[in-house]
Amino acid sequence: MSVAALLLLADGRFPDGAHAHSHGLEAAVDAGRVCDVASLAAYVTCRLWTTGRTDVAATRLAAGGVDSDELDAAWCVRTPSATARATARSLGRSLARTASRVVPGRPIALADGRPPVQPVALGLLGTAVGCDPDEAALAAAHGTAATLSAAGLRLLSLDPFDVAAVLHDLRTDVDDVARSTVGLVAADDLPHASTPFAEIDVEAQSAMPTRLFRS
């Protein structure tokens, strides 16, 4: 049952809205910093271990029962980009809407009724469908790698087999990022390692006159 739940969350067809976002990758492609399979793999790896790890930790803690409002606030403090915060809120809303169909008896919401940001919402939904915190964290790490890789496929017109190979090669990083959050117990434990481009790219992309992705 738990494995089936994990596969549900990790399925690229899951209606979480992630397909409409590149989380700043489009700006990196526009700037020429991501231009081929190798640079895409490097970009995804960097994001996994920085902003991705923050997301994974938030998902794990939410799935482990840490207060959602505290986690939401802690995640926002660690995310300087207003665009990134708005995107995460929008994706959290999509997950809450999906949860209302998948697990109607388990509403995904903060105390004031707002949807949590996406990593927190994913942790809550993971618990509701039967994932434990380890599995929820793994789903979050995989989601980061898969979303960015899929965006790179579309932006760079890459060979799908090459992008699948990138995800295959990143499986150790996906596992390690998820495992690296074991032992975190409170909202204050959220890691906040980042890189300037993780925030700059998201903001730059929002100002692009034409773009393929919302963020």
pLDDT in tens, 133-190: 999 999 999 999 999 999 999 999 999 999 999 999 999 999 999 999 999 999 999 9
Question: Residues 75, 58: contact at Cβ < 8 Å?
Answer: yes
The residue ranges of every structural domain in the chain are 2-7+20-206
Using pLDDT thresholds of 50, 70 and 90, give the confidence band for residue 1. Answer: low
* Backbone φ, ψ for residue 209 (5° rounding): -65, -35
Alpha helix stretches (DSSP H) within the chain? 2-10, 25-30, 37-49, 51-63, 68-77, 82-102, 118-129, 133-156, 160-169, 171-180, 196-206
Using pLDDT thresholds of 50, 70 and 90, give the confidence band for residue 8. Answer: confident
pLDDT at 198 over 90: no
CATH fold of 2-7+20-206: Urease accessory protein UreF (1.10.4190)
Taking CB atoms within 8 Å and a gap of at least 24, the contacts of 82-88 are: 82/203, 83/202, 83/203, 83/205, 83/206, 83/215, 84/23, 84/24, 84/51, 84/199, 84/202, 84/215, 85/117, 87/21, 87/23, 87/118, 87/202, 87/214, 87/215, 88/117, 88/118, 88/119
CB-based burial label for 189 (10 Å; 0-12, 13-18, 19+): middle
Residue 152 to residue 167: CA distance in whole angstroms? 12
CB-based burial label for 26 (10 Å; 0-12, 13-18, 19+): buried
Residue-level pLDDT at 4: 83
Question: Residues 83, 215: contact at Cβ < 8 Å?
Answer: yes
What is the dihedral angle through the alpha carbons of 85, 90, 96, 101, rounded to the nearest 10 degrees?
A: -160
Angle at 8 between CA 6 and CA 14, to 5 degrees: 135
Amino acid at 40: L
Choice between 2 and 72, residue whose per-residue pLDDT is larger: 72
- Residue 17's alpha-carbon distances to 47, 118, 214, 215, in angstroms, are 19, 10, 11, 12
Instruction: Count CB-CB contacts under 10 A for residue 22.
Output: 26
Residue-level pLDDT at 136: 95
Residue 197 to residue 28: CA distance in whole angstroms? 8
